[in-house]
């Protein structure tokens, strides 16, 4: 007992908090370890699918992901985030086995639709569970490091495991999908072992009786009212759009076109991707390296500008400069993601359906990303890659400029508890009401 007390005093973590963090590491690593990722295009081509079928499935996947995000966030807030993580891990395990059972167009379509369902079940629930669990243990100061380290461990696992896929496929062709299913099954074990958490007001993660008995629309309406009534929450979500869109478009859609445009052969693309992954993993694990002289919201803006600047600078550099800039881009992404995640979680009011709101953020991010992908395709088809990079940088700068202008002009300001309110409450407004009668019930508490 004394040893445990000394350990808690040294780390600031309770035994339950340490268990939550460690199991979250295991869940995030195993759930997202998709062994088939580097070879799925070639695997589907070998199965007889055409390019039109392969990219058609990808298009359906992104649309399905956005659609699934709507009900799954609501489900998480009704059945509990822990149960939602379990369900998502089970679905992901089955999804990775679909191509093994049927290596056909139907099999791969079912595979990606199930992945969209599994990932949407966990996209908001995982962050919400970690945040609420640490807050219930009064260890919420450790959330940022825990979120970043979990992401870093997952990225390192990919760097280690992905080079093994080719040799393993030579032994048994379906190995990437079998190993992905085994990893997802391991995440089921982690999800089952997660402890039940209690809210700050004594409620369990399942919510009160009114929420359990209410309709899904009630939670959806509450979430939308929270966004509408909190300018700070809405703006923080919008600020995150720049990070998500730039990182996805660069690392998925523009990665190979940029390298090929600078004469970097396909044989070197894997090495460049590994270097970027290492840079992102190191930065994700150490967001605390950033100076505390600036608030987190300022750091997110600065890192977003770093992403935009890296893209624009690629139009001037040679092959080695582009590789360095891509690694800088990846490192800025690694720093930004956990900070942005904490900003959004801090801005969510205490009585609001957290997982639903995080799903709303995910829907907004992916919707903008889908539009950006269409625009990127049009630019590339016209042979205007440099213009695309510059226009992406300028659009990001304009978005962040408007964001900072709203903050500095006083139109939106952050309250100590994470909410934002008008700078001048109407006369006669009770102290602490923030100028919005009727919203006191969902006001966020001061972080502890």
Poorest-pLDDT segment among 138-147, 174-183, 319-328, 404-413? 404-413
The closest alpha carbon to 77, from 236, 202, 204, 195, belongs to 204
List, in order, residues 6 or more apart from 428 with CB less than 8 Å away: none
pLDDT band at 243 (very low <50, low <70, confident <90, very high): confident
DSSP state of 253: I
Compute the distance between CA of residue 34 and CA of residue 50 in angstroms, rounded to an integer.
22
Compute the distance between CA of residue 444 and CA of residue 350 in angstroms, rounded to an integer.
5
* Domain 215-422 = CATH 1.20.1250.20: yes
pLDDT band at 378 (very low <50, low <70, confident <90, very high): confident
Q: What is the average pLDDT score of the chain?
A: 78
What pLDDT, on a 0 to 100 scale, did the predictor assign at position 427? 39
List, in order, residues 6 or more apart from 323 with CB less than 8 Å away: 264, 272, 275
The token pair that represents 305 in the structure block: 């500008």
**pLDDT exceeds 50 at position 171:** yes
* Residues found in the chain: 448
User: Using alpha carbons only, how large is the chain's radius of gyration in Å?
Assistant: 22
The token pair that represents 424 in the structure block: 């001048």
DSSP bridge partners of 421? 413
**pLDDT exceeds 50 at position 438:** no
What pLDDT, on a 0 to 100 scale, did the predictor assign at position 281? 82
Task: Tell me whether domains 12-208 and 215-422 share a fold.
Answer: yes
**pLDDT exceeds 60 at position 205:** no
- Quote the percentage of the chain above a pLDDT of 70: 79
Place of tokens 């903008």: 368
Q: What average pLDDT does range 40-53 have in this prediction?
A: 80
Compute the distance between CA of residue 12 and CA of residue 10 in angstroms, rounded to an integer.
6
Compute the distance between CA of residue 148 and CA of residue 432 in angstroms, rounded to an integer.
34
Residue with the larger pLDDT of the pair 83 and 426: 83
**pLDDT exceeds 60 at position 255:** yes
* CB burial of residue 195 (10 Å; 0-12, 13-18, 19+): middle
Compute the distance between CA of residue 133 and CA of residue 265 in angstroms, rounded to an integer.
47
**pLDDT exceeds 70 at position 416:** no
DSSP state of 137: T
What is the model's pTM?
0.64
Poorest-pLDDT segment among 173-187, 383-397, 413-427? 413-427
pLDDT band at 216 (very low <50, low <70, confident <90, very high): low
What pLDDT, on a 0 to 100 scale, did the predictor assign at position 203? 41
**pLDDT exceeds 80 at position 446:** no
Do residues 177 and 100 lie in contact, with contact meaning Cβ atoms separated by under 8 Å?
yes
Poorest-pLDDT segment among 72-81, 105-114, 336-345, 418-427? 418-427
pLDDT band at 8 (very low <50, low <70, confident <90, very high): low
**pLDDT exceeds 60 at position 10:** no
Q: With the CA atoms of 330, 334, 339 and 341 taken in that order, what torsion angle do they form, in degrees rounded to the nearest 10?
A: 100
Q: Phi/psi zone of residue 263: left (φ > 0), alpha (ψ -120 to 50 degrees), beta? A: left
Poorest-pLDDT segment among 212-221, 307-316, 339-348? 212-221
Q: What average pLDDT does range 95-117 have in this prediction?
A: 93
What pLDDT, on a 0 to 100 scale, did the predictor assign at position 77? 65
**pLDDT exceeds 90 at position 184:** yes
DSSP 155-215: HHHHHHHGGGHHHHHHH-TTHHHHHHHHHHHHHHHHHHHPPP-B-TTS-BTT--HHHHHS-
What pLDDT, on a 0 to 100 scale, did the predictor assign at position 12? 78
The top-scoring range by mean pLDDT among 40-44, 78-82, 312-316 is 312-316
pLDDT band at 430 (very low <50, low <70, confident <90, very high): very low
Compute the distance between CA of residue 123 and CA of residue 343 in angstroms, rounded to an integer.
16
CA atoms within 13 A on the CB side of 281: 16
Residue with the larger pLDDT of the pair 235 and 85: 85
Domain ranges of the chain: 12-208, 215-422
**pLDDT exceeds 50 at position 206:** no
What pLDDT, on a 0 to 100 scale, did the predictor assign at position 213? 42
List, in order, residues 6 or more apart from 283 with CB less than 8 Å away: 152, 330, 331, 332, 333, 334, 335
The closest alpha carbon to 369, from 31, 121, 66, belongs to 66
- The phi and psi torsions of 424 (rounded to 5 degrees) equal -130, 95
Domain 12-208: give its CATH code. Answer: 1.20.1250.20
What pLDDT, on a 0 to 100 scale, did the predictor assign at position 219? 62
Do residues 109 and 140 lie in contact, with contact meaning Cβ atoms separated by under 8 Å?
no
């Amino acid at each position: 007992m004394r040893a445990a007390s000394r350990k808690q005093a040294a780390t600031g973590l309770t035994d339950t908090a340490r268990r939550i963090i460690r199991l979250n590491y295991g869940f995030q690593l195993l759930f997202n370890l998709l062994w088939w990722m580097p070879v799925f295009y070639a695997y589907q081509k070998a199965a007889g699918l055409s390019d039109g079928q392969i990219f058609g499935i990808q298009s359906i996947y992104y649309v399905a992901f956005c659609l699934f995000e709507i009900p799954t966030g609501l489900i998480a807030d009704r059945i509990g985030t822990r149960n939602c993580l379990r369900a998502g891990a089970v679905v992901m395990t089955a999804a990775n086995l679909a191509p093994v059972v049927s290596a056909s167009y139907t099999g791969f379509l079912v595979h990606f639709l199930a992945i969209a369902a599994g990932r949407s079940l966990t996209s908001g629930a995982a962050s919400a569970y970690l945040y609420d669990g640490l807050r219930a243990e009064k260890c919420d100061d450790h959330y940022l490091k825990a979120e970043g380290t979990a992401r870093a461990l997952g990225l390192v696992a990919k760097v280690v495991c992905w080079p093994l896929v080719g040799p393993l496929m030579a032994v048994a062709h379906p190995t990437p999908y079998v190993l992905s299913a085994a990893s997802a099954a391991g995440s089921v074990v982690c999800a089952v072992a997660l402890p039940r958490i209690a809210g700050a007001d004594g409620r369990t993660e399942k919510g009160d009786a009114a929420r359990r008995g209410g309709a899904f629309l009630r939670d959806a309406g509450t979430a939308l009212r929270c966004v509408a009534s909190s300018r700070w929450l809405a703006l923080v979500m919008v600020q995150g759009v720049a990070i998500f869109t730039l990182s996805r478009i660069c690392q998925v859609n523009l990665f190979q076109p940029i390298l090929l445009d600078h004469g970097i052969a396909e044989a070197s693309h894997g090495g460049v991707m590994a270097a970027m992954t290492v840079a992102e993993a190191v930065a994700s694990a150490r967001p605390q390296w950033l100076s505390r002289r600036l608030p987190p919201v300022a750091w997110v803006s600065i890192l977003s500008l770093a992403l935009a600047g890296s893209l624009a600078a690629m139009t001037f550099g040679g092959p080695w400069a582009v590789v360095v800039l891509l690694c800088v881009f990846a490192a800025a992404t690694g720093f930004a993601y956990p900070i942005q995640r904490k900003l959004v979680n801090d801005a969510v009011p205490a009585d609001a359906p957290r997982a639903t709101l995080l799903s709303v953020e995910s829907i907004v991010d992916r919707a903008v990303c889908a539009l950006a992908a269409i625009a990127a395709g049009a630019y590339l088809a016209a042979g205007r890659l440099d213009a695309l990079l510059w226009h992406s940088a300028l659009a990001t700068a304009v978005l962040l400029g408007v964001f900072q202008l709203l903050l500095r002009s006083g139109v939106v300001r952050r309250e100590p508890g994470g909410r934002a309110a008008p700078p001048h409450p109407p006369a006669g407004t009770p102290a602490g009401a923030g100028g919005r009668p009727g919203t006191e019930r969902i006001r966020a508490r001061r972080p502890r």
